[in-house]
């Protein structure tokens, strides 16, 4: 699972867990935004498309199954502004 993505959303994220019911339904939220697509893949994976977000933020991911089970992954995904970045810039450097 990538731990971050762009504000425009549309990226595929895999959430690893346990106890999912293959063929069952699932709803996933990134912060307060509901993911447009999410499905259970086996008993240990949920595949989801990230929704768009308004600002750079570290958000919780909330997974709710159609059985009513809910799990919150606290501060699990970072929305980032797109920008020009190079590995030569170093981690945490401001792009120019």
**β-strands 26-30, 33-34: how paired?**
antiparallel
90 part of a folded domain: no
What pLDDT does 84 receive? 60
What's the CATH code of the domain at 12? 2.60.40.10
65 part of a folded domain: yes
Domain count of the chain?
1
SS3 88: helix
φ, ψ (nearest 5 deg) of residue 79: -85, 130
pLDDT for 19-66, tens place per residue?
A: 899 889 999 999 999 999 999 999 999 999 999 999 999 999 999 999
Domain that holds residue 24: 4-83
How much is the pTM?
Answer: 0.82
């Amino acid at each position: 699972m990538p731990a971050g993505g762009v504000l425009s959303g549309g990226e595929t994220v895999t959430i690893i867990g346990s106890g999912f019911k293959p063929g069952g339904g699932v709803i996933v939220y990134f912060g307060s935004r509901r993911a447009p697509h999410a499905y259970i893949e086996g008993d240990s994976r949920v595949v989801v498309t990230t929704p768009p977000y308004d600002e750079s933020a570290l958000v919780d991911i909330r997974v709710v199954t159609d059985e009513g089970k809910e799990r919150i992954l606290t501060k699990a995904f970072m929305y980032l502004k797109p920008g020009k970045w190079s590995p030569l810039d170093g981690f945490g450097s401001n792009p120019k």
